[in-house]
Structure 1
């Protein structure tokens, strides 16, 4: 599994500084300018961006590796890498006119999002009039554009049943600073507010077309990366960073016990402590491996020119939820065996443990919908809920 890339190496070259800045990110409740600059200069957000607009158009498993490694250094930077970096791929599915508007002058332009259909898009000549408020737009302070979701109404305000994603420039929305949280505090996941902004048709994508793999961007972005199912790629952005964070919790717990052994090499922890550390290490490793394996299988099919099969797509959804369970369990076990030092406000172990639990609450990381849909697929082959 290839996990090396110049963009990842550039961040790891200043790994200590990225970790040092995490505390300031948490205090400021958003990425520091220096953290954002490190990610921007490295080109991390361009890993799965179209090559024709300055991106690397890399194997998506490399993007997974970037999220994982950066989240081990900084929860804030790792989370924002995922939920902002994946938008560079999503924009590649839009018409070329939209891509050119965002990246034509600066290929390092970032896009935040809030995909919940919390807005209303009223049909007007040439596009839509959009109004709404959306929460949880991570990294938005460092982004020049945003994706938001909305339900469509006709000119008279009647719901059509159509759901869309819309792309807006920074001039068309405001950011409401509401992000005060117990976990992932440094991600700047504030609210987006829009009041009667006009969005032209080329910056709107029907969600049914998105889930059906009907991508306008394929007229210019013809490589296998842009023939991947949207959901199969997107889900990694909100679970792989949690795997990196959970790995950090396990490493911090192990580090506490290593420091004790340095004083008295004969004083190994209690066997139950060693067993929990073993289980936690296994759970994190397994979660990351299954995520990479499923994404790798999907990308290999796209490279061959094949459709990504229903079993791969359904397995990816099932294992995404399984991975969330595994990394949360691992973080909990590591926190349990970290000892009294774990509860200190200055201890990274408890801080990152809270970040893992906060990320678990992302809507896509909740198990109820996916578990029952996969169970129905397992018994009947029904495609209900398949994206």
Structure 2
């Protein structure tokens, strides 16, 4: 499903749309969780709000907005529903990712509109063999967010040469969703509404122009960066994915802090004494979250400036990922602290706070936000040791 002819919007208009949708998705958040997917109605409203074309190439009518716009949008939406924010964030970024592919692929994906609904996973779980004009791709992939709504899918796979002297090469492939089999596997404790089911591909032909080298995309040296004018398409995939992926965690934590404030205000209005420890905790978690948000916004600015000045280093990219994992870890800590003091009712599965706690736990487990792995790689770089993590 794609809603065509979305007019160009200003940053203020897009943010205003996010604020309005925040309240709408909050009303149906429980239903979204039970459904295991975003409803068609909400997905249509997300399309109409202009989020998905915010970062696509201007050559196709996209707005090429900076990354912090998507960050703001997903921050606000997460205050209503984390699953909806996560899907919004990923689909927006996946549209930007299409701009990293060869020109012919971009023209095909954006043939009818300045965005599309795209799911993706870069983990090279598939196997690909060269054939005339392209590749034959097979494999199975997990955590394919929003796959039932998507028109296109981006997946990673290892190109296996017939030559014994040539090592496998990680590549990414983009293909129509109708060519993949969707497996009903999304039975989880958190982020239930993202519909992140598995997919299976069995010997599907992918033309050469819809294939790119994964290492080139990670290094900001993609085919798209050579043909598009904007410096936006020189950003590296891992940095963009990690930085934008923290927005739902920050938005969720803002809402949880507000729930805690509302409870304390309710005590005051009913002449119930508020404990000094509660006031100390409130101040502490507010300031901690403000620091985390400031860190992310500064990191986004730093990544953009370093890319534009061609001074972005491996150390920079590793640092951004560490900062992202720290932010999510701190958000998880704040939410769990609030959950601990909100009483037994907050553990009902239907309670808003309980849902946020389950969702943040799921975000924290994401491979791009692996705290130990990110810090290990960054620590090795500080000592001049080789790292074993290609996704930085």
Shorter-chain TM range is over 0.9
Match of 1:169 in 2: 176
Match of 2:6 in 1: none
Q: Does 1:362 align with 2:366?
A: yes
Instruction: Map residues 340-379 of structure 1 onto 2, 5 A cutoff.
Output: 340-379=344-383
Q: Aligned equivalents of 2:285 and 2:165: distance in 1?
A: 52
1:164-190 CA distances to partner (integer Å, 9 max, x unpaired)? 111110221121121111111111001
Normalization by structure 1: what TM-score? 0.92
Match of 2:244 among 214, 237, 246: 237
Match of 2:339 in 1: 335
Of 38-47 and 204-213, deviating more is: 204-213
Q: Does 1:43 align with 2:50?
A: yes
Q: Aligned equivalents of 2:54 and 2:133: distance in 1?
A: 33
Q: Aligned equivalents of 1:209 and 1:89: distance in 2?
A: 15
Normalization by structure 2: what TM-score? 0.91
Match of 2:298 in 1: 293
SS of aligned partner of 1:147? strand
Aligned alpha-carbon RMSD (Å): 2.1
Deviation at 1:159, TM superposition (A): 7.9
1:192-249 CA distances to partner (integer Å, 9 max, x unpaired)? 1111100111111111222232211123312121122222211123322112112222
Q: Aligned equivalents of 2:236 and 2:121: distance in 1?
A: 19
Match of 1:307 in 2: 311
The answer on whether the counterparts of 1:67 and 1:79 sit within 8 Å (CA) in structure 2 is: yes
1:307-362 CA distances to partner (integer Å, 9 max, x unpaired)? 32445323212211111211111111111222233123332011111110111111
Match of 1:78 among 74, 81, 85: 85
Match of 2:4 in 1: none
The answer on whether the counterparts of 2:125 and 2:157 sit within 8 Å (CA) in structure 1 is: yes
Q: Which runs of 4+ in 1 moved over 4 A?
A: 155-159, 381-386
Deviation at 1:151, TM superposition (A): 1.2
The answer on whether the counterparts of 1:119 and 1:133 sit within 8 Å (CA) in structure 2 is: yes
Match of 1:194 among 189, 201, 204: 201
Deviation at 1:257, TM superposition (A): 2.1
Deviation at 1:156, TM superposition (A): 8.1
Match of 2:284 in 1: 279
Q: Aligned equivalents of 2:315 and 2:27: distance in 1?
A: 43
Deviation at 1:157, TM superposition (A): 9.9
Q: Aligned equivalents of 2:156 and 2:125: distance in 1?
A: 6
Q: Does 1:18 align with 2:25?
A: yes
Change (3 A) 1:324 1:340: same
Match of 1:132 in 2: 139
Q: Aligned equivalents of 2:201 and 2:317: distance in 1?
A: 34
Q: Aligned equivalents of 1:157 and 1:269: distance in 2?
A: 71
Of 94-103 and 45-54, deviating more is: 45-54
Match of 2:3 in 1: none
Q: Does 1:111 align with 2:118?
A: yes
The answer on whether the counterparts of 2:243 and 2:321 sit within 8 Å (CA) in structure 1 is: no
Deviation at 1:98, TM superposition (A): 0.6
1:77-108 CA distances to partner (integer Å, 9 max, x unpaired)? 11111222111111111111111111111223
Q: Does 1:218 align with 2:225?
A: yes
SS of aligned partner of 2:255? helix
SS of aligned partner of 2:96? helix
The answer on whether the counterparts of 1:167 and 1:203 sit within 8 Å (CA) in structure 2 is: yes
The answer on whether the counterparts of 2:143 and 2:196 sit within 8 Å (CA) in structure 1 is: yes
Match of 2:5 in 1: none
| Matched length | 382
The answer on whether the counterparts of 1:314 and 1:374 sit within 8 Å (CA) in structure 2 is: yes
Match of 2:156 in 1: 149
SS of aligned partner of 1:45? coil
Deviation at 1:155, TM superposition (A): 4.5
The answer on whether the counterparts of 1:145 and 1:170 sit within 8 Å (CA) in structure 2 is: yes
The answer on whether the counterparts of 1:122 and 1:153 sit within 8 Å (CA) in structure 2 is: yes
